[in-house]
Homo-oligomer: A and B are copies of this chain.
Amino acid sequence: MTRTARAYTNIALIKYWGKKNKQLKLPYTNSLSLTLDRFYTDTKASIVDSDQDIIYLNQQLLDDAHSKRIRNYLDIVRQFYSFSEHFQIDSVNHVPTSAGFASSASGFAALAAAVNETKQLNLNRRELSILARNGSGSASRSIYGGFVEWIAGNDNASSFAQPIDEHPDIDLSILSVVIDTQNKKISSTVGMENSVKSSPFYPNWVTLVTSEIEEIKQAIAKKDIQKIGEISEHNAMSMHALTLSANPSFTYFAPETIRIIQIIQELRQKGIFAYATIDAGPNVKIICTKESLPKVQTYIEQQLSNVTTVVANIGSGIEYI
């Protein structure tokens, strides 16, 4: 009986922004994330007697164009582990677009684990993280639960995630604020490339991340949630400073993004715990405590009409079900 692999999405508190090797998805810097509990992908891989992979996403057969990235990835997996079988992939995404999270992290982590299961590759979690990274950089982190660090490394074997604290006893929840916007989307891949290539500040970003990774690991060890919030917010805003200073300048911010940043500052002035982190899009993820979250949620929903909010807590690593 082949089991289904389940992987959860994660949110980077120290961002991954810039690839030093595009093909291997090797980043310029380490990054650090929190795995979430609500948003996950379930994936099953079944060997088929075919010379082509067949990909179902949410019970829909994907056409060639939409399955290309996944099929290319499966080619890489076959090459790595020297086998030739093709698969039927059945993948169900429980990461709704409306929740404002990317599904590629949970998607490629679940896919790597599903193939590992079906082909009985017996990969350990480090090997699984390396394999997932080859699909999507941030997928390397979704192998583990809780706080996870992705070590940049220098080649395929040395670039993998490792757990910092998989089941942290810490009072942090994430409120995702999804903005209903028609912004033309700049993919994170293109955004990273433009930032690396043309932001005069990129070299200092590398230095910054190195020190903020150390600082946040100390804060995690001490369960200093305020420090975790402060470092995360500064790191995210510095990433967005790279897009503003790219040449030509660009931004992922929508008008409502600025309004939410203002609201978070207002909330903090009232003594309510709330820190912002923002990925390659207009949505804001707010780092809250159990106590502050409902207050933040109510306030945001009162102030803004065209947003949806979703709550997530700390989640675990790869599971087989």
- A residues apposed to B, CB below 8 Å: 183, 199-201, 203-205, 207-208, 230, 233-234, 237-238, 240-242, 244-245, 247-249, 251, 253-259, 261-262
Bound-complex Cα distance A245 to B199 (A): 13
Q: Smallest CB–CB gap between A226 and chain B, Å?
A: 12
Closest to A209 in B: B200
Bound-complex Cα distance A201 to B239 (A): 11
Per assembly, the copies of the chain total 2
Q: Smallest CB–CB gap between A251 and chain B, Å?
A: 7
Bound-complex Cα distance A238 to B249 (A): 8
Identify the interface centre among A204, A207, A230, A249: most chain B CB within 10 Å of its CB: A249
For A234, what are the chain B residues with a Cβ–Cβ distance below 8 Å?
Answer: 245, 247-249
Bound-complex Cα distance A245 to B202 (A): 12
For A201, what are the chain B residues with a Cβ–Cβ distance below 8 Å?
Answer: 200-201, 204-205, 238, 241, 245
**Contact status B230-A237, CB under 8 Å:** no
Name 20 extra pairs, CB < 8 A, besides A200-B204, A238-B249.
A183-B262, A199-B241, A200-B201, A200-B205, A200-B208, A203-B204, A204-B204, A233-B248, A234-B248, A237-B244, A238-B244, A238-B245, A240-B244, A241-B242, A244-B244, A251-B258, A253-B258, A255-B256, A255-B259, A257-B258
Q: Is the interface of A mostly helix, strand, loop or mixed?
A: helix
For A251, what are the chain B residues with a Cβ–Cβ distance below 8 Å?
Answer: 258, 261
For A261, what are the chain B residues with a Cβ–Cβ distance below 8 Å?
Answer: 251
Q: Smallest CB–CB gap between A180 and chain B, Å?
A: 14
Q: Smallest CB–CB gap between A70 and chain B, Å?
A: 33
Identify the interface centre among A203, A207, A244, A247: most chain B CB within 10 Å of its CB: A244
Bound-complex Cα distance A321 to B207 (A): 55
Bound-complex Cα distance A10 to B259 (A): 30
Bound-complex Cα distance A10 to B251 (A): 27
For A256, what are the chain B residues with a Cβ–Cβ distance below 8 Å?
Answer: 255
Q: Smallest CB–CB gap between A216 and chain B, Å?
A: 13
Q: What are 23 A-B contacts defined by CB distance under 8 Å?
A: A183-B262, A199-B241, A200-B238, A201-B204, A201-B205, A201-B238, A201-B241, A201-B245, A230-B248, A234-B245, A234-B247, A234-B248, A237-B245, A237-B249, A238-B244, A238-B245, A240-B244, A241-B244, A244-B244, A251-B258, A251-B261, A253-B258, A255-B259
**Contact status B249-A233, CB under 8 Å:** yes
Closest to A233 in B: B249
Bound-complex Cα distance A203 to B203 (A): 11
**Contact status A254-B245, CB under 8 Å:** no
Closest to A201 in B: B201
Bound-complex Cα distance A96 to B170 (A): 52
